A and B are shown apart, each in its own frame.
Chain A
Amino acid sequence: MSEGETPRAGAAGPADAGTAETVDVEAGIPEVGARRLDAATVDLRVQPTAMPDSRAASLLDRVWSTPRAAQLVRAAAPYDFLRVSTVALVAVLRERIDGALEHGAVQRIRLDATRDEQLQGVAVELVVQYGHDIRVMAARTLEVTEEVLAQLLGLQLPASAITTHVHVSDLTRGDPHLTDPLDER
């Protein structure tokens, strides 16, 4: 919702509402009806509509029981009987990289795996705060990525045949952990 705008009825008109009275008169909107509509709109806004907490909690439970699309990737020998979901890998990578970067945050992580469940590539896109050294952040991101892949899959980078890329895809003026480029457009 846009900041700085207010709803039409019962308050000053929104920034992009035009001149309400002029529009109403020109379009032949009945005056008494328009006044009643505005009053009813104000009343309708304050009617309770919140979902009961217990229902909201069960709705959230339903969400958690819904799996996201994922692929499995195989750990390195001698643990190659182990397969790890890409959803779990992405979540751990996000948490560790976000935690390691003071002025950068993960925007997106793409994992490339073959049909026989071999991880082939990792691409991490970062959003970074304007004015900070992106080379340092990229190096730290690569380091953390290698640590996570070693811990979860036993993959030793850069020896393993896995390509890793770090991209800086956007900038923010504020803390990228708390804000998004969309918020600043």
Chain B
Amino acid sequence: MSEAEHHLEEASSNALARRAGLGDRRAFEELFGRHIDSSHRFALRMLDSDPALAEEAVQEAWVKVWRRLPEFEERSAFTTWLFSIVSRQAIDLRRRRRPLAVDDQLLEPLAQETRIATPDTTDPHSAFLSNQLWESLLLALGELPWRQRAAWLLREMEQMSYAEIATVLDTTEGVVRGQLHRARRTLAIRMEQWR
């Protein structure tokens, strides 16, 4: 056995995906460890921060990843393939839910909401205001059309390029640019109203 067999942590995700597709469970575990947090974060934000739904979406997505890896033809990178599966899983779950009216909630004082202090914030007043900002952003995100929200999250939270987002959402870079611009404008208008 070569040295490389023992150094999975040095392997790229695409190399790990190739091996996992051929039945290497240690490679799959390494892949899972690398990407479970980002895939969970994406699902959580796509599903209005509902932890139970996010977990369900992520679980089904990773089961599909395991089953489909042998047929994964590597036309795209593993990461974009994974996020496209998570995205589809999340939208399937969301379709089963009754739409929630969030307009009344948006940008209202969030005194009843749980507040999570931002790391490194020592001033309680600043922490309070900061929490309101990101919590308001979450509510505003919930109002965005699905693909705009996905594009914004992939760009701003997962730091993907336009090309990668286009692959995940099965569209073109031009469409992604348009979606991101509309998302940013809508979010900025909502945040402008914040008090």
A residues neighboring B (CB under 8 Å): 1-2, 5-9, 14-16, 23-24, 27-30, 32-34, 36-37, 39-41, 43-51, 55-56, 59-60, 62-64, 66, 68-69, 87-88, 90-91, 94-95, 98-99, 101-102, 105-109, 127, 175-183
Residue B192 at the chain A interface, CB threshold 8 Å: yes
Q: How far is the CA of A88 from the CA of B24 in the complex (A)?
A: 10
Q: Which of B137-158 contact A (CB under 8 A)?
A: 137-138, 155-158
From residue A68, how far is it (CB to closest CB) to chain B in Å?
6
Task: Report the minimal beta-carbon distance from A93 to chain B, rounded to whole angstroms.
Answer: 8
Q: Is the CB of A44 within 8 A of B134?
A: yes
Chain B residue with Cβ nearest A8:
B156
The CA-CA distance from A36 to B134 in the complex, in Å, is 9
CB-based contact B130/A49 at 8 Å? no
- A-B pairs with the 9 shortest C-beta distances? A91-B23, A33-B192, A177-B4, A180-B14, A33-B188, A99-B1, A94-B22, A40-B137, A36-B191
Residues from chain A with Cβ under 8 Å of B22 in the complex: 90-91, 94, 106, 108-109
Known A1-B158, A2-B161, A68-B66; judge A37-B188 contact (CB<8 A).
Answer: yes
B194 lies within 8 A of A36 (CB):
yes
Contacts of B24 in A (CB 8 A): 91, 94-95
Knowing A7-B159, A68-B67, A179-B15 are in contact, say whether A32-B192 is a contact too (CB < 8 A).
yes
Given contacts A33-B189, A43-B118, 6 further A-B contacts (CB under 8 A): A45-B156, A47-B118, A90-B22, A94-B19, A107-B18, A181-B74
Nearest CB in chain B: distance from A95 CB, A: 7
**What are 26 A-B residue pairs whose CB atoms fall within 8 Å in the complex?**
A1-B159, A2-B160, A5-B159, A28-B185, A32-B192, A33-B191, A33-B192, A37-B137, A44-B134, A47-B116, A47-B118, A51-B55, A55-B55, A59-B36, A91-B22, A91-B23, A91-B24, A94-B24, A98-B2, A99-B1, A106-B18, A108-B22, A109-B22, A177-B15, A178-B15, A182-B14
